[in-house]
A and B are shown apart, each in its own frame.
Chain A
Amino acid sequence: GAGVSQSPSNKVTEKGKDVELRCDPISGHTALYWYRQSLGQGLEFLIYFQGNSAPDKSGLPSDRFSAERTGGSVSTLTIQRTQQEDSAVYLCASSLGYRDSNYGYTFGSGTRLTVV
């Protein structure tokens, strides 16, 4: 696609439910990143994928968070048993590859998750 696409744009869920957030990177981009942006805060790194390599999960805040990337393209971030502190904007970004990431990422418009 022309840009990084994220869906849904907004999601309201009840505490304790599971949610899935989707990211469709730019076609041909092999590197994909997830960030979390809590209200009024900066971006917190969650996880990144590079090609077929094992993902770097070092930023995931708890074992309720997981992500996968199928076929080296679309990625899904799953939050199980959501808590109110999970409310945030979840941003996805992609770059052409490892080395091209030095030129910066292209971000999607994010998913605003609200846990009630």
Chain B
Amino acid sequence: KQEVTQIPAALSVPEGENLVLNCSFTDSAIYNLQWFRQDPGKGLTSLLLIQSSQREQTSGRLNASLDKSSGRSTLYIAASQPGDSATYLCAVSERNKLVFGAGTILRVKS
């Protein structure tokens, strides 16, 4: 059974700092890996999707990497801003479904 773990569970950083969120998964037979952002009481916003054949994806200040063989992904956020404060969720795609990690709660202090 696929298990997805995210470390750290919570992170508090000053504005402007670069940071890395980690995601690991136990079964490497995945279709893709997605990073989402969730604001309190809201739905999910897709940030980046990495297909299983890809190594990384970039969007603005965000960069996500995927090492399928070792079962790891990282989300790098450059020059963090208070507006980046949210819960970040990692999910791996198996046939017909996404399996989610518990998330990392990020707080960026101004």
Q: Judge: A and B partners, yes or no.
A: no
Chain A residues engaging chain B, CB cutoff 8 angstroms: none
Chain B residues engaging chain A, CB cutoff 8 angstroms: none
